[in-house]
Amino acid sequence: MEKFYNELLENNKKWVVNMLDKDPQFFERLSHGQQPPILWIGCADSRVPANEIIGALPGEVFVHRNIANMVVHTDMNMLSVLDYAINVLKVSHVIVCGHYGCGGVQAAMTNKHIGLIDNWIRHIKDVYRFHQDELNAIGDEKTRFDRFVELNVKEQVLDLAKTSIIQNAWEKKQAIHIHGWVYDIHDGIIKDLMVSIKNNESLSQVYQLDL
């Protein structure tokens, strides 16, 4: 453990040398500012590092991560990231990326009492409740867990669309596409859930504001 820690700063120096070797202007160019075309909302899980798994370089992806890639519309942290990404950086794509084997989603399937995190897990449990009939009908626990991960991503895509930030952007005719992906920690492959939305039409009528 100590060895791993001690190597981190050494690894950083090697990384800088390697990057400059490939592109001598790399850091100089990035120091002038960022213009990432994508906002990534992913899980905090250490096995799902945003940039690495999509081959993106520093400067290419604006990233927000939390437990179980949740879009909670009272979460000031998430809203601040979203506002900055949409209104200042002008990203055109927002990707919600969940992953199979997600501990947060798994916890929401149980009745375990963990502690403070129970408050966060409750938001995931709400997703279970919305899809209770479909999920309870799946006998195999692993299949039900996988499906819950997918449904959770889909709900977060819809929750993003319902935020005032995305609604205002669509009202101003700013083109923003929201996508839902699931990363498979068993083989590294990302599955596009094909739940992309770019306007209010996919929202349930209850949430459709007059734009």
Q: Which of positions 30-49 make contact with Co ion (CB under 5 A)?
A: 43, 45
146 counts as binding Co ion under rule CB under 5 A: no
45 versus 146: smaller Cβ distance to Co ion: 45
State the CB neighbour count (10 A cutoff) for residue 169: 18
99 versus 179: smaller Cβ distance to Co ion: 99
- Shortest Cβ distance from residue 70 to Co ion (Å)? 10
**Residue 206: CB partners within 8 Å, gap ≥ 6?**
none
182 counts as binding Co ion under rule CB under 5 A: no
78 counts as binding Co ion under rule CB under 5 A: no
102 versus 178: smaller Cβ distance to Co ion: 102
Q: Which of positions 80-109 make contact with Co ion (CB under 5 A)?
A: 102
Give dist(CA 171, CA 116) in Å, integer: 38
Per DSSP, the residues of 9-63 read: HHHHHHHHHHHHHH-TTHHHHHTT----SEEEEEE--TT--HHHHTTPPTTSEEE
Give dist(CA 166, CA 200) in Å, integer: 10
98 versus 166: smaller Cβ distance to Co ion: 98
- By DSSP bridging, strand 177-183 and strand 190-192 are antiparallel
135 counts as binding Co ion under rule CB under 5 A: no
Active site amino acids? 43, 45, 47, 99, 102
70 counts as binding Co ion under rule CB under 5 A: no
50 counts as binding Co ion under rule CB under 5 A: no
Q: What three-state secondary structure class fits 101?
A: coil
Contacting residues toward Co ion, per CB under 5 A: 43, 45, 102
